[in-house]
Amino acid sequence: MEKPRRITEAPGIGKKSSEDLLALGVSTLHDMISLRPRAYDDRREERRIRNTSIDDPSISCRITILRHSEFSSKGGRTLKVTATDDDGTRIELLCFNRYFLKTQLRIGSEWYIYGKAMKNRGVYQISSFEIKRTREEAGIGRILPVYPLTGGLTEKLMRNAASYSLMALSPIPDELPQSMYERENLIHHSEAYNFIHFPATMEDAARALNTLAFTELFMMELSVLREKPRGIRKKSLPSAREKKLLKSLPFTLTEDQLKAAEEIREDMDSPVQMNRLLQGDVGSGKTLVAWLTALHAIDKGEQVAFMAPTELLARQHADGAAELLSPLGVRIAFITGSVKGERRRLLLRSLQEGSTDLVIGTHALFSEDVTFKNLGFAIIDEQHRFGVQQRQALMKKGNKADILSMTATPIPRSLALTLFADYSVSVLHSMPKGRIPVKTYLVSESRREEMYKSVGVEFQRGHQAYFVYPRIDDEGEGDLRDVTTMYDFLKEKYPDVPSRLIHSKLPDDEKMQILHDFREKKIGYLVATSVIEVGIDIPDATCIIIEHAERFGLAALHQLRGRVGRSSLPSYCFLVYGPGLTDEAKARLRVMKETNDGFKIAEKDLEIRGPGEMMGDKQSGFLHLKFASLTSDLDLVERARAEAERIISEDRGLLKAENAVLREALAKMK
């Protein structure tokens, strides 16, 4: 493979500017041509002074110098040059720190100027401007790229570097098979790279961007799909113990749960490694699908690991598994960071020897010292809480163990097609029978009492509640209702209802005890921070009151609301907000009131926050897209995906002559 040519070979790029360029991700000539201008400066038309407006104050035109004068400013004496354009409109050039211009801008000489003019008491003035001898030098008649800058970089240096790189690398070869250009209505890459920097028209710039964005998405899809194993699927039947489990339940599974279990079973029984995402809104019953399919693996003689993001949740799952699976003879273990000493040693040994079938825990599951005899199936609950590395570490524990990742955060289609392209997906669309959608109220200060009354009525019916606050204690920000003071306040409000305080600073044992008591209904309500956010499942809790709701993000609010509405009882979510809401906060609360649909909420979240933020840093690391946008280019994502699928199905090995470019490009991506 040819060595990439360094950017330092471009004239004018020394040590300092090459360091600055590196900060923009540019170290080679090819990086430079792949650097997307952040905007364009359209100087095609001469823009005379009287054509400016407040919205667009830019001028680019010829001027003639009329006279020089001076005025005093903070910096001392400042040169003021009066000039006129070809219309005869006058303008004053305020030459701050540029006294030297006096000798250049001789009276009567002609120049080309560009910059932004301002009208000040009826007189046009300009202080930040460039002035050139010729039209060409001033870029008049052209569209100029505007680059992101850092350090000492200037637009001029960047333009020169781009134009040198384009020339030096010319002819720039095509990056896609010939037939694809026509099919997808793309322009050839040589043109695309030239036009992205120096377009003749804005349409050219758009076509260039379209081609480069398509290419970027297509290559990503192709690399992912090529790695995705193909398997022969055959029908698999539930084992005897699976059937027993189903019979022991007080309810029947939903169609979606059954279908998901079937899909997972088929994956498991096929020779390729499963990488499946089980997506289902909060409360849709993902856990049961996990237990059912865990049994399938165990009955094949494999060990199963179930990983949850918090100790609290891991404990809840361990209790649930004990209740459902122990009677069937499944040997269960529970491991977290706080399991230490002799207990830990014994536990690890049982995993290694294979005398534990199912281990449930937190990320402690993938500590160095944890080894399995035969890990065949790993389940990751609330997968979006884990980083890619953590998931990989768990996968390494087994020899090609099947992976099931569960999430309540619906993956927007653009991400599903890219970041999650190598996953198969099962979806639980429907909720278990008899569920009533949670009713959401937005509560202002003035309606607080009314809310307390409604919650009081629920207590009388024997139902339970969560009160959620954003902080643990009052650390000076008096406006925030913190858990500890509210705990006391609520005690007076509901003197007969037992309650407990729960937050992240409590020892884990205590948290678990509290949750246990809450489940047993020894406690009527919890006063909590967002520790209860994920996964906690208490069917008789029918109210959640979230204070300072405006401080929580959409995803967190949806998760919190998902703590109620988990049985056939009607349930309520009260979002209490403070005064002075920002527009964004208002928008968020409105979304929560209008819909219970996690998918819609996720789409809104994506709109408001963008994909990186939404999926968490840890997962968006892959998404360094230069040209494409996962929020606005969904159409392009779909087309790129379809082309990648087409290529894979026609020529998986990329052996056709036409596809040689792709084979080489993929090799370079590694």
Give the footprint of ligand ADP on this chain (CB under 6 A).
251, 253-254, 257, 280, 282-288, 408, 432-433, 535, 537, 539, 566
**SS3 at position 228:** coil
Q: Counting contacts by CB under 5 A, is residue 598 touching Mg ion?
A: no
Going by C-alpha positions, the residue among 606, 641, 633 that lies closest to residue 422 is 641
Tokens 């294979």, residue? Answer: 354
CB of 280 to Mg ion, least distance (A): 9
CB of 381 to Mg ion, least distance (A): 6
Going by C-alpha positions, the residue among 425, 518, 529 that lies closest to residue 487 is 529
DSSP string, 60-109: EEEEEEEEEEEEEETTEEEEEEEEEETT--EEEEEETT-TTHHHHS-TT-
Provide the residue type at 47 as one letter.
Answer: R
Q: Counting contacts by CB under 5 A, is residue 535 touching Mg ion?
A: yes
* CA-to-CA dists, residue 404 to 253, 273, 278, 289, angstroms: 19, 11, 7, 10
**Closer residue to Mg ion (CB): 37 or 535:** 535
280 contact choice in Mg ion, ligand ADP, none (CB below 5 to 8 Å, kind-dependent): ligand ADP
CB of 454 to ligand ADP, least distance (A): 24
Binding piece for Mg ion, criterion CB under 5 A, among 206-214, 528-536, 539-547, 553-561: 528-536
**Closer residue to Mg ion (CB): 139 or 535:** 535
CA distance between the termini of the chain: 13
CB of 435 to ligand ADP, least distance (A): 8
CB of 408 to ligand ADP, least distance (A): 6
Going by C-alpha positions, the residue among 560, 609, 589 that lies closest to residue 282 is 560
Distance CA 285, CA 432 (A): 7
Eight-state DSSP code of residue 47: B
Q: Counting contacts by CB under 5 A, is residue 199 touching Mg ion?
A: no
CB of 658 to Mg ion, least distance (A): 47
* CA-to-CA dists, residue 393 to 194, 339, 369, 384, 389, angstroms: 44, 20, 12, 15, 6
Q: Counting contacts by CB under 5 A, is residue 432 touching Mg ion?
A: no
Residue nearest to Mg ion (CB): 535
Burial of 118 per CB tally in 10 Å (0-12, 13-18, 19+): middle
**Closer residue to ligand ADP (CB): 250 or 271:** 250
CB of 13 to Mg ion, least distance (A): 54
**Closer residue to ligand ADP (CB): 166 or 260:** 260
**Closer residue to Mg ion (CB): 132 or 435:** 435
Q: How far is CA 602 from the centre of its chain?
A: 10
CB of 254 to Mg ion, least distance (A): 15
Provide the residue type at 35 as one letter.
Answer: L
**Closer residue to Mg ion (CB): 215 or 279:** 279
100 contact choice in Mg ion, ligand ADP, none (CB below 5 to 8 Å, kind-dependent): none
**Closer residue to ligand ADP (CB): 71 or 251:** 251
**Closer residue to Mg ion (CB): 309 or 535:** 535
- Please give the residue ranges that form the binding site for Mg ion (CB under 5 A): 535
